Every structure is written in structure tokens, then in C-alpha cells.
Amino acid sequence: MAHPARSITLSDGTRIAYHEVGSGDPAIIFIHGAYSNRRGFGNQEAYFSPNHRCVAVDLRGHGDSDKPDQLLTMEQHGHDVAELIRHLGLDRPVLVGQSMGGQVVISVAAFYPDLVKAVASLDSPSNIPGWHQRFHGPYDHLMTPDGPFRKTLIAFLSAAYLPTDHPSRLGQMAERLAEVPDHVILNSWAGKVDYDPTDVLRAVECPYLYIDCGQPDIDLDLLRELCPQVVVGKTVGAGHKALQDVPDQINAMLDRFIAHAEGIAAEMVRTGGVFRYNFPEV
């Protein structure tokens, strides 16, 4: 179901679009990944809207939002989402970000801790220091205005799909990316070339759910070292489009996390990242 777009004008004059459905606290803000838009969370909106106010946003440069020709950084996206939270008068919502949206949600939590109840990132390996440089870095020289940047991007993104993923995902990728202007692709990529989430993660104090969907070389020990309250979930048989392919798995993890975020975070700190039965002494 398509929801009508609304918009706000940010303090720098940029207009960003969003839609919302449902009611109830805490509100949930859904944040898409790079080169995408707010329309990818339909399964989550249907599941959570009976009990939560659900807001999905188009980040600047994406979807129905303005597309200024400027560097698109995680910090800037974070500031934009914070403005949206204040504009809508939301009381400490939960932020859920997919892929690059995961970098956005931890940015909001780090820079605006009083605005956020909890955050969740879905298949967001760049949230782990060093991952971006190891896996994005080798393609940087091709992601330039005079390089084969669209072909390169399709090849890079294709690696994030598993054999079990719905076959239409890869087939539709070029068509989906054709709707994204060249300058948005280049500015989004360039905005992450030097991205390092280390200080951001250290500043995140709220409960944090990281859902892994099969990305390589995920250093969870480093993630826990920087953010001891993080709890890790993993999808079964689904890659980068797990939101659409296995919404039952994603929704169940999000639902449990949202309902028990503080307790889960405290248990992660107490045990070093695992749930443990507490048997009585004999």
C-alpha cells in the first residue's frame, strides 16, 4: 500500500519527504539505505502500525526528497533525522536503519542521545570500523564521474545477495538504480570514502540491535568493545533484502528488542554479549 508523501523543510532549506502510518509509542522511524527510498518497509509498517506510530523517511538526495548536488555524509543525514524527530514531536522514537541507514541511526543516537530510545541496524557492516575501507575501498577509483560507476555499483551491490534470495532482486537492480541521478550515486559513495564509525559507536549509549544478514568479515568483538550494550541477531537464508524476503524473522527480532530494549542492553553489558542461564548454586 502506497502512503501519501509529506515533507518538511530543514534549517538549511532542503526539503525531505516522509510518510507515516499507525499510532502508539514508542514511534518507529524507518531509514533506508543508499540509492533507495522510504518505500521498502511495507512489511514492517503493516506489522508494527497497530501499536506504533511508524514513520518512513526519504533521506536527502533520495526518493521524493530534494537532491542537492553536495556530499552526502552520515553526519548530515543524522542531523536531518534529528530535525524530523523534533518537527514531528516524537518522544524518543526507536530508529531502524537498513544498510547505510544503519550508519544514520547510530549517528543520531551519538549526536542526539536525548532524542532516541533505541536503535537497530539491519545488514549495516559499515557500522564496524575498518569494514568500509576493506570492502568499499578497492572500488573507490572506479566511482568517479569519468569512471564506470553505475556498472561498478551494480557489481558491488550484487555481492550482498545470497543464493536463497528472491531471484527478482538482482534482476531489478539496474532498473531501480536508473531512477537515481548520477550525482546522488557519486555523492553518496564519496560521503563514505573516509567513514569511520569508531567515535560514533563509543558515543552510542542507548540499546542497540545489530542484525547480520551474511556480510563477510564482521568483527562482532570489535563492535561489542566499542558498544558493549549491542545485541546481535542473524537472519537465516536471506541476504541484503531480508526486510522483504524474510519479514517474519526481521519483525520478530525487532518486536522483541523494542519491547525489552533496556533489559536486553543491560544483559549484554553484564555477560559480554551473550544470554546466559543463571543456574542456582548447589
**pLDDT at res. 227:** 97
Q: pLDDT tens for residues 56-67?
A: 999 999 999 999
The reported pTM is: 0.95
> Where do the domains of the chain lie, and which CATH numbers do they carry?
6-271 (3.40.50.1820)
Q: Which residues contact 65 (CB under 8 A, 6 or more apart)?
A: 7, 14, 15, 16, 17, 58, 59
Instruction: Give Cβ neighbours of residue 140 (< 8 Å, ≥ 6 apart).
Output: 189, 193
Residue pair 76/107 in contact (Cβ under 8 Å)? The answer is no
Low-confidence ranges of the chain (pLDDT < 50): none
pLDDT of residue 176: 86
Q: String of b and e for 111-129 (b: at least 16 CB within 10 Å)?
A: bbeebbbbbbbbbbbbbbb
Are the beta carbons of 167 and 204 closer than 8 angstroms? no
Of the candidates 26, 56, 49, 85, the one whose C-alpha atom is nearest the C-alpha of residue 261 is 26
Q: What is the pLDDT of residue 1?
A: 62
Supply the pLDDT for residue 206: 98
What is the total residue count of the chain? 282
Which pLDDT score is estimated for 171? Answer: 65
